[in-house]
Amino acid sequence: NRLLSVWGTGAFHAGVEVYEREFSFFSDAGVHGCPPKSCEGHAYVESVDMGFTPMTKEEVTKVLQAMQREWPASGYHILRRNCCHFSDELCRSLVG
C-alpha cells in the first residue's frame, strides 16, 4: 500500500463504527463486529466521519441482523462484494 498510496490508491479494509462497535464483512466470517479500530489482521489507518444515525441501537441491530442474512461469508468476492461494498451499504442504511 505504501507504493500505491503515492498515486492515491491501495488495498484497504473498511468497517463502520456505530454505537461503540465496528462492523465489517469478511470472507471467513461474513458480517462481524469488534471493538472500534481493533479488527484482527488489519492495521488502522484513518477514520472518515459519515455523520450520525437517527436510528436507535435496537434499530441498528435489526439492520445488522438483516444484513447478516444478505451478506453471508460464501458471498464474499475480493473485487465485487467485499468489506468496502458492505460498508457503503451499511452507511447508506444508517444515515441515508
Report pLDDT digits (tens) over 39-84: 888 888 889 999 999 999 999 999 999 999 999 999 999 999 999 9
Binned at pLDDT 50, 70 and 90, residue 3 comes out as low
Of 84, 88, 96, 20, the C-alpha closest to 55 is 96
Q: What is the pLDDT of residue 12?
A: 79
Q: State CA 12 to chain mean position distance.
A: 11
C-alpha cell at 5: 498510496
Distance CA 72, CA 31 (A): 7
Give the whole-number percent of the chain exceeding pLDDT 90: 72
Beta-carbon count within 10 A of 23 CB: 24
C-alpha cell at 80: 465485487
